[in-house]
């Protein structure tokens, strides 16, 4: 059994992956186009996108100008936070999410993929990134839909490390997102909107569903 290391930031690190709560879901699902689903399953073609990309994306369900910007109110005063590190994201949803809701996020989505070995999937992404010279720390967690809400001091004190990456407004709550973030803690800035990686054949851990 893998050793669980509890951090000072209230997260848990297991085998080099940081979790807001361990273990992760038994599987993850994601809506996409059939052609992209096949490329991911058969060749491992995957794209991680930067927080800045989602901030600039002008699609109401997929873009969010406040992406990565943590935001609460305490006694009527705004409390904001961000990250000084580059963060790249792969978005998915918990396995109980309604597939039709996910497909409705974009007119191009006609397919659902299911990752059935979540930890192995994340490890393959990390290895593929390292093969291209990107030393990224994976951090996983469910998105919390409470941006801008009035909170207590306890809520503030209970925030996980990089909570801003896992916080969105309540208007996105129907997406039931589970997010895999890859944080660049090195001194070498990547500076790209996307990281396109090749994982190799993933048919053993990714299934295509209609």
CB-count exposure of residue 81 (10 Å: 0-12, 13-18, 19+): middle
Task: State both tokens at 178.
Answer: 């589970």
Model pLDDT, residue 62: 75
| Residue 184: strand, helix, or coil | strand
* pLDDT tops 90 at residue 112: yes
143 upstream amide cis, omega within 30 of 0: no
Across residues 3-10, what is the average pLDDT?
91
* Integer Cα distance of 196 and 45 in angstroms: 7
* pLDDT tops 90 at residue 73: no
* Integer Cα distance of 80 and 187 in angstroms: 25
What are 186-194's contacts with CB under 8 Å, separation 24+?
186/135, 189/86, 190/86, 190/134, 191/86, 192/50, 193/49, 193/50, 193/52, 193/53, 194/47, 194/48, 194/49, 194/50, 194/53
- Going by the DSSP 8-state scheme, the letter that residue 29 receives in this structure is E
pLDDT band at 1 (very low <50, low <70, confident <90, very high): low
Q: Single out the residue of 197, 136, 175 nearest to residue 54, CA to CA.
A: 175
| Residue 31: strand, helix, or coil | strand
Where are the chain's structural domains?
4-209
- What pTM was estimated for this model as a whole? 0.89
Task: State both tokens at 96.
Answer: 């109980």
- Going by the DSSP 8-state scheme, the letter that residue 172 receives in this structure is G
Across residues 56-65, what is the average pLDDT?
71
Specify the length of the chain in residues. Answer: 210
The sign of the dihedral angle between the CA atoms of 63, 128, 99, 36 is positive
* Integer Cα distance of 58 and 54 in angstroms: 8
pLDDT digits (tens, 9 = 90+) for 157-205: 777 778 888 988 898 999 999 999 999 999 899 999 999 999 999 999 9
Contact status, residue 178 vs residue 131, Cβ threshold 8 Å:
no
């Amino acid at each position: 059994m893998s050793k669980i290391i509890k951090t000072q930031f209230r997260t848990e690190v297991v085998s080099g992956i940081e979790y807001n709560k361990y273990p992760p879901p038994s599987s993850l699902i994601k809506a996409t186009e059939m052609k992209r689903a096949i490329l991911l399953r058969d060749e491992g073609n995957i794209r991680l996108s930067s927080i800045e990309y989602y901030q600039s994306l002008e699609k109401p369900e997929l873009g969010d100008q406040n992406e990565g910007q943590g935001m609460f109110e305490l006694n009527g005063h705004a409390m904001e936070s961000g990250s000084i590190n580059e963060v790249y994201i792969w978005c998915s949803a918990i396995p109980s999410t309604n597939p039709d809701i996910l497909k409705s996020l974009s007119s191009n989505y006609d397919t659902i993929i299911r990752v059935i070995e979540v930890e192995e999937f994340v490890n393959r992404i990390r290895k593929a990134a390292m093969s291209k010279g990107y030393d990224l720390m994976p951090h996983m967690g469910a998105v919390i839909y409470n941006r801008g809400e009035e909170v207590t001091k306890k809520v503030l004190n209970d925030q996980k490390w990089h909570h801003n990456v896992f916080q969105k407004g309540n208007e996105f709550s129907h997406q039931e997102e589970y997010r895999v973030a890859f944080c660049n803690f090195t001194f070498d800035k990547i500076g790209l909107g996307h990281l396109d990686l090749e994982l190799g054949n993933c048919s053993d851990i990714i299934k295509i569903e209609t």
